[in-house]
């Protein structure tokens, strides 16, 4: 079973003690900055990103912002359109309103 959990300032997906994917994050005001991901399998990385966004949505942080172009490229590789801070109306709207975002 794959488990996704927060470890300090990183989200990690692991199975049987083996790390499959991880994603650093930081906060700048109400903006969540996701760092460049490290992953072994894209579907697992996708789950880590969703966990990141869900985590901050539940805590009321309103904006999502990629930390750098590497993170933006990783989202694009997963089939998402990268939305800059302020374009989506918040994390809750990220998957709903971004053009070409997966559901």
Tell me, yes or no, whether 6 lies in a domain: yes
Q: Is the pTM of this model over 0.85?
A: no
DSSP state for residue 54 in the 8-state scheme: H
CATH code for the domain of 22 = 3.40.630.30
Tell me, yes or no, whether 23 lies in a domain: yes
Tell me, yes or no, whether 21 lies in a domain: yes
- pLDDT surpasses 60 at 29: yes
Total structural domains in the chain? 1
Tell me, yes or no, whether 18 lies in a domain: yes
Structural domain boundaries, residue 46: 2-97
Tell me, yes or no, whether 102 lies in a domain: no
Name the CA radius of gyration of the chain, rounded. 13
Tell me, yes or no, whether 77 lies in a domain: yes
Which two structure tokens, joined as six digits, stand for 81?
Answer: 């359109």
Tell me, yes or no, whether 103 lies in a domain: no
Q: For the segment 54-101, what is each residue's pLDDT rounded down to a tens digit?
A: 777 677 664 555 555 555 566 666 666 555 444 444 444 444 444 444
Distances (CA, A) of 89 to 44, 56, 92: 26, 14, 8
Number of alpha carbons in the 13 Å side-chain half-sphere of residue 5: 9
93 in Cβ contact with 63 (< 8 Å)? no
Tell me, yes or no, whether 12 lies in a domain: yes
Rounded Cα distance, 96 and 58, in Å = 16
């Amino acid at each position: 079973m794959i488990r996704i959990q927060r470890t300090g300032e990183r989200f990690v997906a692991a199975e049987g003690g083996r790390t499959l994917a991880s994603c650093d994050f930081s906060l700048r005001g109400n903006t969540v900055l996701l760092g460049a991901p490290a992953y072994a399998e894209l579907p697992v990385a996708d789950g880590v990103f969703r966990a990141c966004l869900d985590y901050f949505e539940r805590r009321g942080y309103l904006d999502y912002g990629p930390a750098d172009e590497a993170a933006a490229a990783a989202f694009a590789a997963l089939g998402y359109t990268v939305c800059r801070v302020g374009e989506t109306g918040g994390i809750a709207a990220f998957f709903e309103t971004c053009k070409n975002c997966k559901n």
